Amino acid sequence: MIWEVFARKAYEDPLHHVGTVTESDEDLALVSARSIYDEQPWIHMIIVPREAIREAIKP
């Protein structure tokens, strides 16, 4: 299962896409996201299952 990872490093920043992780369950996906995308001192990181995303405007 693919999870999209979003993060931000300052309170005034919006969340932005930083990458994806592929894991079979939520707990593993959370751990993977934190360890793979540890290049910045993030203050906030979320993960979203890719299949939950709907495009309102397509590029």
Residue 1 interacts with another protein (CB under 8 A): yes or no: no
Q: Which of 8, 20, 28, 34 binds another protein (CB under 8 A)?
A: 20
Contact segment (CB under 8 A) with another protein among 7-15, 16-24, 41-49 equals 16-24
Residue 59 interacts with another protein (CB under 8 A): yes or no: yes
Distance CA 19, CA 6 (A): 7
Position 45, amino acid: M
Q: Residue 52, SS3? A: helix
Residue 13 interacts with another protein (CB under 8 A): yes or no: no
Q: Which of 1, 22, 26, 31 binds another protein (CB under 8 A)?
A: 22
Q: Which strands make up the sheet holding 2-8, listed edge to edge? A: 16-22, 2-8, 44-49
